[in-house]
Each structure stands twice: as C-alpha cells, then as structure tokens.
Amino acid sequence: MYAILRTKKLKNRSKITSANRHNLRLRWQRNIDPDRTHLNQILYNPMGIDEKDASSFQKKLTEHYSNLGVKEKQNNTLAFEYLATASPEFFENKSPEVIGKWASDQVKFMKNEFGDRLKLAILHLDEKSPHIHFYVSTELKSIKKYRNQKGEFHKETWSLNSEKINPEYLADLQTRFAANNKQWGLIRGVKGSLQKNVPLKVFYKVLDRVMATGYKKKIDQMIDQIELSLGERLNIETIRNKIRDHIAPYINGVMKERQLYKEFTKLDFHKLQTELIEERKKLKLGLDEVNARREVYAEVINKDFHKKSITEDVIAENLRLQNELQEMKNKYEPEIHPVAEKSMKDKIQFPTPKPQNV
C-alpha cells in the first residue's frame, strides 16, 4: 500500500476559486456521495475563510500578500494545492477515529514542511477514498544589503517564488512524506515511475468520447462511398479492390498512430528525469557562484568610495593633477596662431629632389 502525495500549481484567482468551489462542495459532481458530504471537515484554517463562499480563500490570500508588500508579477504561482491520500485498500474497514488520526498526522507533517505558508486543509470523506486538500502560499522573504554614506543597512522584501518547487524538491518531498507514513504501513511509490495520475475530469471526458465513438458508423460511411459503374462486372476481386482503395488509407492512418504510441512508450522517462535533475543542480551551483562573486565585488567596490573624506581627497588630487598637466602643456606646447603658422610654411621651402640618371 502506498502513501500518495500530488501537487498542482494555481496561477490565477479564478483557478483558486474553482478549486475551492469543489473542495467546499459548493457545486455538484458525479463522483461525490451527497449522503456523506456532512462528514467532510476543515482541518486547518488559520485565515478564517468562509466555507460558504468559494472566493473567500483567494480574497484572504490577496489580502495576506498585500499586507506583506508583495508586488505580483505576471505568471506568478499564487498557491500550491497538495492532495494527500493512500491506496484505496488502506482505508478498508478503518473506523472514523483511525482515519481522523491519520488525517491529523498528515496535517502535522505539512505544518513541519511549510510552516506559516500552510493556509488551508480540508478532509474529504464523501468520495471513494478519503483524502486531504492542502493549500500552501508562495511568499518568500529575502534580505537585501546596501551601503551608503551612513553605513551598511539591511532591507526585508517579499516576493512570490515557486522555483523551490522543482522536480528534485518534489521527489525528496515524496520520500519524506512516505517516511512519515511508514508508521501506517505505507510505502513510497517507485521513484521515476512512468505511471501518472489522471484527473477525474479528464477520465470522464475520455470515457464519454469512447462511449460516443461509433466505429460501425465510420465503416458504413466508407462503404457508402464505394461506387460501382453500371457496366462494371461484379466479382470478388472487384469488391476487394474497391474496399482496399477506400479503407486502406484509414487503416494506414491507424497503424501509423499505433507506431507513434509504441515509440513513445519506449522512451526512458526515468533517465530523462534524472538528467533533468542533474542539469538543474549544475545550474544552481553556477548561479550560487555568480551570486557569491557579485557580493564580493560589490563589497570591494563600495568599501572605500562611500567614505566621504576619501572621496573628497580623490577629487582634490584629480584637480591638482589637471592643473599641473595644463601648466606643462602651456610651457612645452606654446599655442601657434593660424596666421603665424601660415607664414612659417611660406618661409620654409624644401628643395625638390632631382631625378638621378641610372
């Protein structure tokens, strides 16, 4: 039995509101048992959102970011939604008390992981498997150092940053989550597995398309397109040729699609994921080195030039050197007026060289 933790980015307020409309059961869904909805619980709600208002959470989150002085940028991730659950068989024959203890343990784990950024936790017991939705904000505090004439200062700033939530971090989070659930007899899924969770809404769309697909109708349409001339002799070979001409393109298209799917399944996604993680590590080391050098350079540059006395001495010395240079120019490079220069050229005559006989 597996410990399961999924994550999803929420990049705009409409998605946050839509997610909460689902999680607060403010809209109908066919995978929900309405007779059990009253068993759902809000496990953690430090911002005091209104469970009757789907937009309450995003309004509280906006207010929270505003109070911190966060300046939102385009394409910022406003929040992360995590879903914690386990294999369906884990919950079989479990009493509400045991499920409640399991849920409390998950909330404790998420608090330890995200601290004050954990903003909401909702337990659902009206679907096939019990699960918890967690919402985590993305604010990040940074301390900026700067110097001026009065000395060195530090400034605290806030921004929205989701760079930490990368494949490497999520893989490690899965490992820690599984370790926390080891006491419940749950284990981690296979690292780098090609299996992927399919959201229910996607599953239902695919199911509807499959159920609506009429292969018989498609074949009937192709048969209807087969034409026979009045003088054409009917025999088995003629019929075979007609069917081959009309149906072969369709069959070939299907076979090409199957070949593409086959090649796609041969890809080593685990290897690709490992290579991606290694590349991200190298990039991070490079960025850290650049930032470290930038701090050193800034400190060296600003070390002396922010001292007023030294700056004034440098300016005075530059002015003295400029005056001395001008005096030397006046002494050794006397100014020649254009008229005098012309008369000197008129007086000086250079003899024209005579050609020599060879």
Closest CA to 121 of 110, 138, 134: 134
Looking at the predicted structure, is the pLDDT value of residue 347 above 50? no
pTM for the complete prediction?
0.55
Distance CA 163, CA 103 (A): 28
**Percentage of residues of the chain with pLDDT beyond 70:** 61
End-to-end CA distance of the chain: 110
Distance CA 224, CA 207 (A): 29
- Positions of E strands within the chain: 3-10, 41-44, 79-86, 118-124, 131-137, 139-148, 151-160
**pLDDT band, very low/low/confident/very high, at 225 (cuts 50, 70, 90):** low
Residue-wise burial string across 95-126, b where 16 or more C-beta atoms lie within 10 A, e elsewhere: eeeebbebbeebbebbeebbeebbbbbbbbbb
Closest CA to 174 of 190, 151, 150: 190
**pLDDT band, very low/low/confident/very high, at 74 (cuts 50, 70, 90):** confident
**pLDDT band, very low/low/confident/very high, at 98 (cuts 50, 70, 90):** very high
Cα 354 to Cα 271, 346, 350, 357: the distances in Å are 86, 22, 12, 10
Distance CA 311, CA 314 (A): 5
